Amino acid sequence: MGTAAFWGVLPALAVPAAASDRAAPDGIGSDSDDATTTVIVTADREKDRTVTAKLPMTPHELPQSLSVLGAEQLQEQKLVTLDDALRQTPGVIVEPIDGNRVNFYSRGFEITNLQFDGIPTTMDDRIFAPPDLVVFDKVEVLKGPAGLLSGFGGPGGAINLVRKVPLSTTAGYANLTVGSWDDYRLEGDFTGPLNDSGTVRGRLVGTFQERDTFQDWTHQKRLLGYGTVGADLTPDTTATVGVYRQENDYTGAWNLPGRVNVVGGKYVLSLLDVPRSTSLGEKWNEDQFTTTGAFANVEHRFGNGWHVNLGTQYLDNVMDRVMAYAYAPVYAGQNTTTLYAQKVRYDQSQAGTDISASGPFTLFGQVHEAVVGASYERTEFRARSANGYDANGDIWSATVNVNAPLATAAEPVWAAWQRDNTTLTQTYSTYGAVRLRLLDPLRLIAGARATWWDTAVSTAIPANTARSTASINGKVTPNAGLVYELDPAVALYTSVTQVFQPQDYTDASGKVLKPLQGLQYEVGTKVDFLNGRLHGGLALFHVDEENRAQADARYPNESFYLAQGKARSQGLELDLAGEVLPGWTVSAGYAYTFAENLDNSETDSSAFSAIAPKHSLKLWTNYRLPESLDKRWTIGGGATVQSAMSNTFPTLGNAVLTQGGYAVFDARVGFDVTEKVSVAANVKNLFDRTYYQRIGTPQSGNIYGEPRSVLVTLQAKL
């Protein structure tokens, strides 16, 4: 389940590049006549600043594990939404909640810190629908606590999405994708100068997608529009503003129950062996998600290397849902489950502002860097829900045969709102950090943040419910890391990162949960090969955490939570990314994770083994044929491999629900028809592996992985 993400020590994993990017990206809008250049509209940022933090750090200088998915990989693999991208990110596990919403996990813990151009937002899984990636240049994923870079945050890590910016050179492309299950997607991206000098630039991005899915009578539709303008107010001052809107509409039902048998007085659990097309719900099921946002950024650069950045953004999220869902096991000798119904509306508004100043300073004959700043965030979340009733006035339910669901039951009569509460959270903070050159090869990165946080939960329905409040005054969260360069290609690092994250969820009594607390220790090495074209890394980590919020299994679908006891995660991560040979790129990563509860706090909803497989491997590679063969062709392939997932249920005598280990393979072939037109075919789940991508409970929450699918994309560029 999700928790609030908060501003941090360095509140930006990435700062928007100046909107005045002087050069167009390779392969589009440039003077190159090379027909084989990848067709991507992307800003030409400093290529060695994988994390363009307010303290500018290259990957060698970052004392934590980081993965970056750039525009080229996103396009090659047809990763069109954030959950698509994170499924291909080493060390990250994507757990779908249903067909629309997802949770992300790293090192056994949920990733709750989502940032847009370095400005954090509140990522709440009750309302979070993954954004379409057509708006973004790249996805950065920091594994482990983000305190070193962004202060408050859970132990899972942080995701930063770097928005596309207006360019001063005319560029653009249009894509048409057609695929399995009547999948049609059209997207376009166009940018260029709005005046002769290029000091004012604009960019328009949009996409429309409509598709059925592999499950019966399910349908998805997505519409997105994004516009941004950048201007050089002076030679040293750049302003960028933008607006966007994404609308998602989903019909269908994705969750499946499990099967329960009793053998020798003991419970035996198994996943349903029904066709992957099985959809247990009703045809009137519908989820509607709408996200509307606006942002602005002003940056002024001083001649001495210092700069001041002021950023602000506003987000408005809405979810409307009417849903019939399976919530009963299929017992031995039977093939039926029971559907229940609920109507929900969630409204969330977020506003945030951050101002910072950063730059170099000289001390003891060495040049160091520093950043100071302040930030404010306000989030208001309103949740309303109601039950459905049948013609007799009873709570609506329906019994369905899992082998032949009809989906013909009439929609219930919805009651007036039976629960209505609003949570208002505000965060104020000041922060500072330095990167000190202690010796020529040794760097110390240290920072601290003081935070004032308060939250209030007010309940309109049921009436006369006591108002619940909580606050934190001037909490200081320090963090530190060391990086030692053995030589320009090899760096060793270590870091200690504090976990401290307030939670605005409440328990059954209405009390706000205690904050998450803990520490992570990480050591590792980062190595450049082939003159910096190929990058590798090894990280060893140890995380302790307490007060982890978990859904209270005693109150299903009631949004009550428990602050569970102590937990620990240990493991290692290996990654390799870059260019092996000219035209041959690779992105690969392996993670070993051993996560466990350190007390008896585990409930039927808190098993690490269901969200943290011990072994996981992600691989993608793409190769452009040499000119001696025909360099207009590219071929690619990848694999996602992970060990078994399981969920143990203390209330059922520790019976276990298990999905064994599995491997899923993908393939791609592309061809440049002309300098301006290309076509590519992607096959996902090439060998049509049947598996469950999520293990839930015997009642519900078990979701099949997608069968084999084919996507064909035609692209034309300006």
User: For the chain, what is the mean pLDDT?
Assistant: 87
- CA dist 47 and 68 (Å) reads 12
Tokens of 685: 């789940």
Helices (H) and strands (E) in the chain, counts: 3, 41
Spatial neighbors of 237 by CB under 8 A, at least 6 apart, are 298, 299, 300, 301
**3-state DSSP of 411-439:** CCEECCCCEEEEEEEEEEEEEEEEEEEEE
Q: Which residues of the chain have pLDDT under 70?
A: 1-54, 147-153, 553, 556-559, 600-606
In this structure, are residues 354 and 374 in contact, taking their beta carbons and an 8 Å threshold? yes
One-letter amino acid for residue 579 of the chain: E
Whether residue 502 is preceded by a cis peptide bond, meaning omega within 30 degrees of 0, is no
Contact assessment for residue 709 and residue 686, using Cβ atoms and an 8 Å cutoff:
no
In this structure, the dihedral spanned by the alpha carbons of residues 135, 141, 147 and 151, taken in order and rounded to 10 degrees, is 10
Q: What is the secondary structure of 576-613 as a DSSP string?
A: EEEEEETTEEEEEEEEEEEEEESSS---TT--GGGT--
Tell me if residue 133 falls in helix, strand or coil: helix
pLDDT per residue over 136-147, tens digit each?
999 999 998 876
As beta bridge partners, residue 459 has: 421
Pair 209, 271: CB distance under 8 Å: no
Q: What is the separation, in whole angstroms, between the first and last Cα of the chain? A: 44
Asked whether the beta carbons of 132 and 207 are under 8 A apart, the reply is: yes
Distance CA 203, CA 21 (A): 13
- Residue 341, beta-bridge partner list: 324
Query: CB-based contacts of 559: which residues, under 8 Å, 6+ apart?
Result: 126, 383, 505
CA 642, CA 662: separation in Å to the nearest integer? 6
Query: How far is 139 from 69, CA to CA, in rounded Å?
Result: 5
Cβ contacts of 329-335, under 8 Å, gap ≥ 24:
329/257, 329/258, 329/259, 329/260, 329/698, 329/699, 330/257, 330/258, 330/259, 330/260, 330/272, 330/402, 331/259, 331/260, 331/261, 332/259, 332/260, 332/261, 332/262, 335/401, 335/402, 335/403
* Per-residue model confidence (pLDDT) at position 7: 26
Q: What is the DSSP letter of 4?
A: -
Q: How far apart are CA 667 and CA 680, in angstroms?
A: 11
Predicted pLDDT of residue 2 = 38
What is the pLDDT, as a whole number, of residue 463? 85
Token pair, residue 323, equals: 């849903």
CA distances from 114 to 122, 334, 360, 404 (A): 7, 44, 28, 41
Reported as type and span, the H/E element at residue 570 is strand 567-581
The CATH number that domain 59-440+481-717 falls under is: 2.40.170.20
Radius of gyration of the chain (CA): 25
DSSP 82: H
What are the residue boundaries of the structural domains of the chain, listed by start?
59-440+481-717
